[in-house]
A = this chain, B = another copy of it.
Amino acid sequence: MVAIATSFSAAAAVAVARRSSPAHLQLVARRRLPFCTAASSSTVPPAAAAGFGWADALRVASEFGVGDESDLSGYFQKVDICNRGMGNKGEFVEFMVEDQVVGYIHKGFTEHLRDFHDVFTIVSGSNGKNSVEHVTLHSSLRTPEDRTIAIGDVIKGLGELIPGIRNELYPVTSSYGMPVYFSLERAAAPYFGIKAYGVHMNGYIEKHGEKSLWIGKRSDVKQTYPGMLDHLVAGGLPYGISCKENIIKECEEEAGIPRSMSTNATSVGAISYMDINGFRYKRDVLFCYDLRLPVDFVPNNEDGEVDSFRLIPVPHAANIIRRTDFFKPNCNLVIIDFLFRHGYINPDCNGYLKLLTSLRSGDCS
């Protein structure tokens, strides 16, 4: 994932964009962070404002004649941003529990696990090279509870190697709905290549046949992707809560949507991506929801994670996605999925099927 850094000047970027060929218009924010290597794998998105305001986003959104709306290249770029580093898959080994692959661990990261030999068993090959073949758990850790506690202690012991601890546990399974082998701190999931599940919801209204999306701007002090744009409601899926209950909970906390409305949130499918970045191998599956809201409803953030909301016509939101890096990266994909399902991207656009299938580039299981 990338974040737009404080040094970004929206006005300058728009100016650059205006000089560009319309067909390839793309506002690319200057990023403070280079593509992370193993050495910088502890990097997380900076706790800094995104450096653009609503005025910048709305101006880019409503400019006519900038690029061809059947040109999908801006969307492809957003999918690519969530699916980096596939060429480096060979640097990872399988993480197996009870003979099932539950994740992937970078060979370099396994070196940090060697000291914890009562928790992790590093299995090396017998081909004389002594290279790591896979990682598993010590046979003494038989119950989910034992594993959760032991691995939690390791993560504490690793300190700053795994930054941004959330104190939120994710279930570890081979695929969704299968037995949970143990639970793992959310921030550690990509270091173990665990699949993480989330619920993401587009909230929209329809008036005179035209749809508009409620878009949030994340708080400038939020730990991840501060100041960036977001769809209305989203959250990771912690252990022990159903998707439906989670979306209802997040609706209340993030947008002040009462249960009487949020119970109408409709599941509409799922997207997935795989992103390799240094030691981190993100394997995310997002369950997507739509909620059609009353035209006079105004969202109200209750947990301090959202700075403000704006109601934006769908074609304008599409322009922001195609032309800028203003949205939190994975939110782009959830809104692109919305654009497909609501006919804003249609089969007569060149690249339709390729873009559609790319929304499930990750292991969607």
B176–A346 CB distance below 8 A: no
A108 in the interface, Cβ–Cβ < 8 Å? no
Stretch touching chain B among A45-53, A134-142, A262-270: A262-270
Q: Using CB atoms and an 8 Å cutoff, list the residues of chain A in contact with chain B.
A: 175-177, 242-244, 266-270, 285, 287, 340-343, 345-348, 350-354, 356-357, 360, 364-365
- A290 to B: closest C-beta gap in Å: 8
For A266, what are the chain B residues with a Cβ–Cβ distance below 8 Å?
342-343
In angstroms, Cα B356 to Cα A346, docked, is 20
A270–B347 CB distance below 8 A: yes
For A364, what are the chain B residues with a Cβ–Cβ distance below 8 Å?
353, 356-357
Given contacts A175-B353, A354-B365, A357-B365, 13 further A-B contacts (CB under 8 A): A176-B347, A177-B350, A242-B348, A243-B347, A243-B348, A244-B346, A267-B343, A268-B341, A269-B341, A287-B347, A341-B341, A353-B364, A353-B365
B351–A177 CB distance below 8 A: yes
- A120 to B: closest C-beta gap in Å: 28
For A354, what are the chain B residues with a Cβ–Cβ distance below 8 Å?
175, 365
A353–B244 CB distance below 8 A: no
Task: Name the residue of chain B whose CB is nearest to the CB of A365.
Answer: B353
